[in-house]
Structure 1
Amino acid sequence: MADELSDFFAPPPFKIDEALVSLRSKVRDIKPLTEKVSGAVVTFSLRQMPVVEMSLTPGVSASGQPAMVLKQAKRPSPRPEWQTHTLASSAEVRKWLDQLQLSVKRWDDED
C-alpha cells in the first residue's frame, strides 16, 4: 500500500528532449538575446557577447539521471567566466530560466 502511494505522488518523468526544445524556445523569447547554432551547441548572446551555451545533446546528472548541461556567463563579456548548470527536472529548468531572465534584465539595465 505504501509503495502505491509513493508512486502516486511521484513527479512525472523528466523528458529531456522535450525540455531542451521548450527551454530553447523560452530563452529565444527573452528579447535582447540572439541565438546562434553551431553543431550541437546553441549560443545565446547579449550585444554580441555570449551569455548562455546550451548543449543539444543530453548529459547526465550526478545521480545518473538524464539532464541538460548549460553554461551561463557571470557577466556579458567577449570571454566570459562560465558557470555550469546541470538541470535534471522541470523544477530546476523553471528555476534556472527565472534566474536567467533576472540576470538579463540586470545586465540590460546596467548598460
Structure 2
Amino acid sequence: MSDSSEDFFALPAFAPEQALQQLRRWLREQRALSERGASFTLAGSEVLRLGVQGAVLEVQLAKRPAQSPEWELQRCTQAADVRRVKDEITRRLRRWSEDD
C-alpha cells in the first residue's frame, strides 16, 4: 500500500489571498467598521490593517481606538488562525462599543 492514504486526510493548502478576501467580506458585514483601502476604521479611528506577506495573512489590530493606536500583529498561516482573529475582532468591537 502506498503513502497516498495519508494525503487523503490532509488539509487544503492555506491561500492567504483568498483568506484576505473572505475576511474583508466578513468585516464589511460587521456594520460598525468602515473600509478605507487596506484598513478599517471605527468612528474615524483606524483600528485594523490587513495585508499579505508571502504565504501569510497579516492582521494588525489596535489595542483600542485612538488617533495613533498601539498595534498588535497577528499572523495567519492556516484557517484556524483566521477564525481566532475573527473571534478577537468580535470581542474587541463588543468591548469598544461598551466603553463608549
Query: Structure 2 length as normaliser, TM-score?
Result: 0.91
Partner of 1:59: 53
- SS of 1:93's partner is helix
Quick one: structure 1 residues 2 and 74, their matched pair in 2 at CA, closer, same or farther if it must change by over 3 Å?
A: farther
User: Deviation at 1:9?
Assistant: 1.8
Partner of 1:85: 74
Residue 7 of structure 1: aligned partner: 7
Structure 1 match to 2:84? 95
Is 7-16 or 45-54 further displaced after alignment? 7-16
Q: Please, which runs of 5 or more residues in structure 1 have no aligned partner?
A: 61-65
RMSD, matched Cα: 1.4
Q: Offset at 1:95?
A: 1.3
Give percent identity, aligned residues only. 32
CA distance in 1, matches of 2:93, 2:15: 27
In structure 2, give the amino acid aligned to 1:46: L
Please tell me whether residue 109 in structure 1 is matched to residue 98 in structure 2: yes
Distance 2:65 2:18 in 1: 28
AA aligned opposite 1:49: S
Give the Å deviation of 1:102.
1.2
Match of residue 22 from structure 1: 22
Q: Runs of 4 or more off by more than 4 Å in structure 1?
A: none
Provide structure 2 residue ranges, at least 5 long, that are not aligned to the other structure: none
